[in-house]
Amino acid sequence: MSTQVNQAVQSKQVELVSRPEGMPTSDNFRLNQVSIAPIEEGEILVRNEWMSVDPYMRGRMKEGDSYVPPFRIDEPLEGGCVGRVVESKNDRFAEGDLVLGNQGWREYWKSDGEGVQKIDPELGSPQAFLGVLGMTGMTAWVGLKRIANLRSGDTVFVSAASGAVGSIVAQIAKANQCTVIGSAGKESKIEWLRDKAGIESVINYKKTKNLSDELARLAPNGIDVYFDNVGGDHLEAALEQMNDFGRIAACGMISTYNATEAPSAPRNLFRVIAKRIRMQGFIVRDHMDDYEEFISDVSSLIRSDQIVWEETVTEGLENAPKAFIGLFEGDNLGKSLVRIS
Amino acid sequence: MSTQVNQAVQSKQVELVSRPEGMPTSDNFRLNQVSIAPIEEGEILVRNEWMSVDPYMRGRMKEGDSYVPPFRIDEPLEGGCVGRVVESKNDRFAEGDLVLGNQGWREYWKSDGEGVQKIDPELGSPQAFLGVLGMTGMTAWVGLKRIANLRSGDTVFVSAASGAVGSIVAQIAKANQCTVIGSAGKESKIEWLRDKAGIESVINYKKTKNLSDELARLAPNGIDVYFDNVGGDHLEAALEQMNDFGRIAACGMISTYNATEAPSAPRNLFRVIAKRIRMQGFIVRDHMDDYEEFISDVSSLIRSDQIVWEETVTEGLENAPKAFIGLFEGDNLGKSLVRIS
């Protein structure tokens, strides 16, 4: 039973005021304060502590252009968040519970509990459930295990390899006795991959004249699996260097998200025929039945120090747009998070 | 036992004299006459009656750019052929047997019998084994059954729908209770599809302003399977109109084969992610274990008049280059063949 006075709560939230054209700017967002009515029987009130910013959110800022409904103008954005139950009229939740939800970009939210998941603090830090133990880590796992059918001994290429998903992909592949080649665009990221994640073969794509040639040099026997986070020139280089019957897990194409002109590459898509390549797009939430297996697999890799990760933390809800925009500027190492309180 | 005099045979053959840049021309080919030494124990001598010209041969004219070794300069080209055994020192074959081989583009060839298949004239005409009952028909069948996992009720789009492969694809899909939409570039082809093959929904892509819009009009519920023979703008339109979890059987991309500049389309490959599309390249000869099932399936459809086909026949070996070049000029309806003798 709640001991709080059952009254409206003032809550700050970040709203979308206009749809970005090209690269999003702070003008596309607004910080607003709203009043949240008291919860009713069966509901909980949650105060957010962490929220996730992810590249896929760019798709939801477009009109009807992604697999989930677009964000609405003058409404708060949404996304993965971890918060604490501050009031509960729902038997499944108690005050003080840490929960995972999808109402990021705001201080407080209420819910009837549907789609809200209690977090076991024994398994990891609260924010890990937005990263390695959450949809981010599961995206890496599903792409390798369910889409690319990763096999021990495969040569795996992953783009954006120091990013939230890419860094987990690289390490899961390595733990499965695969040869791993990554790409990243900053020396600090390459150092992290080498020194912390144990990935030796990393291409600095901003310093490489010919991505395909560099890939050929690092993978003289060809690529069996390409985990694509980038699209465009990375996909083209991967197609060029893939082996017969190679598999491409199409997870993201960040190179195209802010494009104002239609992207032209890859210019060598015909390679899929002669090489019998399978390219398959996926979205993690189609695979939620595998959640327990994912947690078991990845927790075990974490315990044996085969997966490490980084967090790039932005302080304060008001800075969430900046954190989001930074995803496209190559600012983040590992998982980008906003600490809300 | 052979009753022929065991002497050398004079044989005309078409050789590749230079690798085409862009569209092939007659200058890339030469008709030559060579002497074939008498066969030895275990061998057969075959006189070709029919040969196949196929778009995939364009790939073999490039230097190391396809899944089979490139054709060699100053050597005869190769490809599917049907001929009659005129002399045999091999127990598996008798004089007069009709056989299927891969030594087209010439009058005579000899072989130890490996990879040579006797033809059962009861099943169909000799040249049908280069078309509907041969690799052409099996390409259609494998693409639908083994790659696209065709299901009854699917909406199927096939490009180059009046071509050798496309026309069989359209009819196999229709026989499997699918809604079929085809594309072709000539009114005579569209008439054939409608009047002979029973495919009502055909786009004349040369007269259509917006292929994607036209596809949307003909497939208001979206496309489940795209059988791609063309690539480029057709693939782009298909990606635009595909349903979630759609499958693309990547069989050919004829729009790119003679390109001297890199193709710009598809510009919307990112659709594979949100729509969870699986795009898979294939080559029929990976699937030869399924040959009996294919023959059984397709023979049955032929007997029940659910598959009809056309042949575009060019007379004379010396005209084989012209027949081949015609493949890229939209000349052919159905299977392109050259009658050699």
Nearest by CB: A281 against B67, B252, B275:
B275
Token pair for B55? 């778009």
Residues 294-333 of chain A with CB under 8 A from chain B are none
In single-letter form, the type of residue at position B146 comes to R
Residue A96 DSSP symbol: T
The size of the A-B interface in CB pairs under 8 A is 94
> Mean pLDDT for chain A?
94
Query: How far apart (Å, rounded) are the C-alpha atoms in residues B33 and B26?
Result: 17
Q: Which of these, B245, B250, B204, lies nearest to B231 by C-alpha position? A: B250
| A235 vs B contacts (CB less than 8 Å) | 269
For an interface test with A, give the residue of B63, B280, B285, B286 to mutate (most A CBs within 10 A): B280
Distance from CA of B264 to the nearest CA of A (A): 5
List, for chain B, all residue ranges whose pLDDT scores fall below the cut of 50. Answer: 1-3
**CA of residue A299 relative to chain centroid, distance:** 18
By the 8 A CB rule, do B184 and B205 touch?
Answer: yes
Interchain pair A274, B59: CB under 8 A: yes
Nearest by CB: B276 against A262, A269, A282:
A282
Nearest residue in chain A measured CA to CA from B257: A270
Q: Which of these, B36, B37, B38, B42, lies nearest to B89 by C-alpha position? A: B42
How much is the average pLDDT of A171-192? 97
Of the listed ranges A67-76, A288-297, A318-327, B63-72, the one predicted with least confidence = B63-72
A20: preceding bond cis by omega (within 30 degrees): no
How many degrees, rounded to 5, is the angle at CA B182 between CA B231 and CA A282?
A: 50
Query: How far apart (Å, rounded) are the C-alpha atoms in residues B120 and B295?
Result: 12
Nearest by CB: B231 against A231, A250, A270:
A270
Token pair for A306? 């085969």
Nearest by CB: B274 against A66, A263, A266:
A66
Residues 69-88 of chain A with CB under 8 A from chain B are none
The domain made up of A9-131+310-339 has a fold known as: Quinone Oxidoreductase; Chain A, domain 1 (3.90.180)
pLDDT digit string (tens) for A112-139? 999 999 998 888 999 999 999 999 999 9
Structure confidence at residue A277 as a pLDDT band (50, 70, 90): very high
Query: How far apart (Å, rounded) are the C-alpha atoms in residues A335 and A53?
Result: 8
B59 and A CB contact within 8 Å:
yes
Token pair for A278? 């399978």
**CA of residue A48 relative to chain centroid, distance:** 19
By the 8 A CB rule, do B19 and B72 touch?
Answer: no
For an interface test with A, give the residue of B272, B285, B287 to mutate (most A CBs within 10 A): B272
Nearest residue in chain A measured CA to CA from B249: A273
pLDDT attached to residue B29 = 98
Q: Which of these, A73, A72, A61, lies nearest to A22 by C-alpha position? A: A61
The ranges assigned to domains in chain B are: 9-130+310-339, 135-285
What lies within 8 Å, CB to CB, of B50 at 6+ separation is B81, B82, B83, B126, B127, B130, B337, B338, B339, B340
pLDDT attached to residue A68 = 72
Interchain pair B268, A262: CB under 8 A: yes
In single-letter form, the type of residue at position B233 comes to D
Nearest residue in chain A measured CA to CA from B252: A273
How much is the average pLDDT of A163-183? 98
Interchain pair B270, A282: CB under 8 A: no
Residues of B303-329 as b/e, b for ≥16 C-beta within 10 angstroms? eeebbbbbbbebeebebbbebbbbbbe
| B244 vs A contacts (CB less than 8 Å) | 67
Residues of B98-134 as b/e, b for ≥16 C-beta within 10 angstroms? bbbbebbbbbbbbbebeebeebeeeebebbbbbbbbb
Helix (H) or strand (E) holding B312: strand B311-315
Query: How far apart (Å, rounded) are the C-alpha atoms in residues A148 and A125?
Result: 29
Distance from CA of B114 to the nearest CA of A (A): 24
Look at chain A and count its residues: 341
- In the three-class reduction of DSSP (H, G, I as helix; E, B as strand; rest coil), residue A118 is classed as strand
| B262 vs A contacts (CB less than 8 Å) | 264, 267-268
Interchain pair B250, A264: CB under 8 A: no
Structure confidence at residue A341 as a pLDDT band (50, 70, 90): confident
Residues 249-288 of chain A with CB under 8 A from chain B are 250-253, 256, 262-264, 266-283, 286
Return the percentage of chain A with pLDDT > 70, whole number: 97
| B264 vs A contacts (CB less than 8 Å) | 264, 267
Is the pLDDT confidence value at A5 over 60? no
Cα separations in angstroms, A35 against A9, A202, A270, B3 = 6, 49, 55, 103
Interchain pair B281, A264: CB under 8 A: no
| Class of the CATH-defined domain B9-130+310-339 | alpha beta
- What are the phi and psi torsion angles at B124 (to 5°)? 180, 180
Nearest by CB: B262 against A267, A272, A280:
A267
Is the pLDDT confidence value at A206 over 80? yes
Nearest residue in chain B measured CA to CA from A240: B65
Interchain pair B280, A279: CB under 8 A: yes
Nearest by CB: A253 against B67, B273, B279:
B273
By the 8 A CB rule, do B251 and B238 touch?
Answer: no
Residue A115 DSSP symbol: T
Strand ranges, E, within A3-113: 9-16, 29-36, 44-52, 81-88, 98-101, 108-111
A235 and B CB contact within 8 Å:
yes
| A278 vs B contacts (CB less than 8 Å) | 278-281
Token pair for B332? 């052919």
Nearest by CB: B276 against A231, A278, A281:
A281
Residue B185's region, left for phi above 0, alpha for psi from -120 to 50, else beta, is alpha
Is the pLDDT confidence value at A162 over 90? yes
Token pair for A321? 């747009």
| Class of the CATH-defined domain A135-285 | alpha beta
Query: How far apart (Å, rounded) are the C-alpha atoms in residues B177 and B197?
Result: 14
For an interface test with B, give the residue of A159, A258, A273, A277 to mutate (most B CBs within 10 A): A273
Nearest residue in chain A measured CA to CA from B286: A276
Nearest by CB: B67 against A268, A274, A282:
A274
Kindly write down the DSSP assignment for every residue of B314-339, as one continuous string: EESGGGHHHHHHHTTTT--SBEEEEE
Structure confidence at residue A2 as a pLDDT band (50, 70, 90): very low
Nearest by CB: B253 against A273, A276, A280:
A273
